[in-house]
Amino acid sequence: MNFLSKSINDTKQLANSIAKNVSVGTVIALNGNLGSGKTTFTQGFAESIGITETVISPTFKLISEYLGNKFWLFHIDAYRLKGSQDFMNIGGERYLIPEDGITIIEWANVISPVLPENTIDISFSRIGENQDARQIKIKGFKNDI
């Protein structure tokens, strides 16, 4: 599935639509260059599940946990990891089968060998002259948006 986002709001609306149609235990893998919309997507997702805290990319702390209205959001940034083993060494397996929440992983390609088969994969790329325009490709999401 392909989605054209023309603005930050479009990206957040996409995240909202996905958030309404996934269940606890879901892992969402986000990939794309720096500034391509991964954190913006996560912010929109967080807002839609009732998280009022400011959501930023956890690049230096690796994992942020936020409690929403009904479940947790585990926000992981794998950018600084050297691979799957680094992720497993910090207890990453707990986030690959999140029994009490949903996991969103930025730079998920870094740890792709350990991602569950049913992971929703979302790739972001910039397009055109509009600095906020993005082509967003979604794989593994079964619902309509």
What are 5's two structure tokens? 């986002």
* The pLDDT of residue 144: 65
Which residue type occupies 52? T
Q: Which residues pair with 106 in a beta bridge?
A: 30, 77
* The pLDDT of residue 35: 85
Is residue 74 within 8 A of residue 101, CB to CB? The reply is yes
Which residue type occupies 105? I
Q: What is the pTM of this model?
A: 0.94
What are 134's two structure tokens? 């993005």
Following DSSP, what letter does each residue of 25-85 receive, concatenated? T-EEEEEESTTSSHHHHHHHHHHHTT--SPP---TTTSEEEEE-SSSEEEEEE-TT--SHH
Which residue type occupies 5? S
> For 1-50, how does the pLDDT look when each residue is reduced to its tens digit (9 = 90+)?
999 999 999 999 999 999 999 999 999 999 999 889 999 999 999 999 99
> For 54-92, how does the pLDDT look when each residue is reduced to its tens digit (9 = 90+)?
999 887 789 999 999 999 999 999 999 999 999 999 899
Which residue type occupies 142? K
* The pLDDT of residue 74: 97
* The pLDDT of residue 27: 98
CA 144 to chain centre: 18
> Any idea which residue has 């991964």 for tokens?
38
